[in-house]
Amino acid sequence: MLISPLQRDRLQYKPKLPGMLRHGISEISVKEGAETQSVADQEKIKALFPNTYGKKEIVFEKGQNTSAAKKQVVGVILSGGQAPGGHNVVCGLYDALKATYKENVLYGFKGGPSGLLEDDYLIFDDEYIDQFRNTGGFDIIGSGRTKLETEEQFAVAAEVCKKHGITAIVIIGGDDSNTNAAVLAEFFAAHDTGVQVIGCPKTIDGDLKNEDIECSFGFDTATKTYSELIGNIERDANSAKKYWHFIKVMGRSASHVALECALETQPNICLVSEEVAAKKMSLSQIADYIADSVEKRAAAGMNFGVAIIPEGVVEFVPEFSALIKEINELLAGAKAEEFNALSSWKDKYTFIENGLSKEAMAVFAILPETIQQQLFLERDPHGNVQVSLIESEKLFSAMVKAKLDERKKNGTYKGKFSPLHHFFGYEGRCAFPSNFDADYCYSLGYNAFMLIQYGYNGYLSKISNLSKPAEEWVAGGMPITKMMNMERRHGEDKPVIRKALVELDGKPFRYFAEHRDQWAVETAYTYPGAIQYYGPDEVCNLTTRTLALEKGL
């Protein structure tokens, strides 16, 4: 197989482990901390997880390994969207497993959780796994979005594990996937299967974090990849001096990606969904905010700029969220068939006009027609609007243009406005992992096996002190139930891992807020460039600006 020189070289990279994991397996001991409780709804979570709730946090340290010696047969699953470094989690898990006992076995279930249910797997060996070290993607075994959430599924999973003599399952995923891991762990414990479940925190969106999980893997590489592209566009904008670039970035439920990219590149505008919600900003107010920057820059002879838009920002606009809710109700049940049977947009518009409240229709009417139609594209499995399909970058550029046209009529604006649009998503999900993600992910996998070896169940692999060099990282584990609360999902109260939103009183946002007025008017762009793998630590082992600010670096 022909591979690039970079891929060939990355295959040889030796990921760095936390200091306490660099000792021989026989010299890794465990130190238990205090018992834990969930972040909210303690009594309800405890009742749902009687066998795995309230367990102690643990830290690994140098000392005699007191775990019971036994053969381990482990299964691993990649769940949900891709994130750079996933391959290294598997490699770290495999290496620790084999370093402990050569006869240990690692099963890779193909295509996500469905591979476990369908008993579709491969057995890893050195030759196969060595092809994927330090590379991006999830193609080592593939991924999927099947949810493990029913008693029937758990029973099938238990049977598959029993068939192969599997002693533990490692689920590599985001908040929903690790919620499923917690529920599966509780089932296995309640039915005395002898199978442990360990989770690993993955998501490029950065919303799987808390006081224990400083950063989910993939966030570092993805934001560095997007920031390189945004920096390139900023340089082009400053060269051509005639385009405003509206750039949508990943982040349906939180704005961590947008904020990190803004901290890296200093664009003229960056919307933060959490602030939009806190200030109850309307679409019109957001458009005015952007138009103000366009106007001020035009007055200084700069008819160009860059605006970063989080993927899910429109859901945080109260009036738009209310509109979405009414549309979901409007097209519920048989009404959807009636609407879809209409042949022209004119007829559909009349149907919409007659079905929405006066307030919702006032919001709908100001939207560009292309966005109006996107709101009525194919629904999700629950019959709801697929907000991720809405081209919010085009929505805001169109609304800004309308604002500027009004100002031009009033004589307050005399500039030119030529918008271009971009969406950066898939470009970052499978990039070659940065040194940070290569090291972090390998450590998460290696650490996951240590949790298995010591008999823990329903735990998340935890590596902390991440703003320091890898030698100073701290390895351990935390019960997944500690991260959980009850939320309303599809009409039912369900236990889920709480998503972490951007904290408006946190240091990263405060730094951004202190500088954005200057960036809005001046051309203060910074150009991060491509991810570097070799060279001085301050270049190739640089942490994210978010993590650096959070830790006061």
Question: CA–CA separation, 236 vs 119, rounded Å?
Answer: 51
Give φ, ψ of 5 to 5 degrees. -55, -40
Question: CA–CA separation, 139 vs 214, rounded Å?
Answer: 26
Give φ, ψ of 22 to 5 degrees. -85, -15
Residue 115, burial from CB neighbour count under 10 angstroms (0-12, 13-18, 19+): buried
Alpha helices in 331-414 (DSSP H): 334-340, 345-355, 358-365, 369-374, 392-409
**Strand (E) or helix (H) holding 508:** helix 507-521
Is 205 noted as a catalytic residue in this protein? yes
Question: CA–CA separation, 74 vs 449, rounded Å?
Answer: 9
Structure tokens at 467: 């703003």
Question: CA–CA separation, 321 vs 65, rounded Å?
Answer: 54
Alpha helices in 101-214 (DSSP H): 113-117, 126-129, 151-164, 175-190
Question: How many beta carbons lie within 10 A of that of residue 14, not counting itself?
Answer: 10
Q: CB–CB of 178/149 below 8 Å? A: no
Catalytic residue among 176, 205, 437, 439: 205
Residues with catalytic annotation?
205
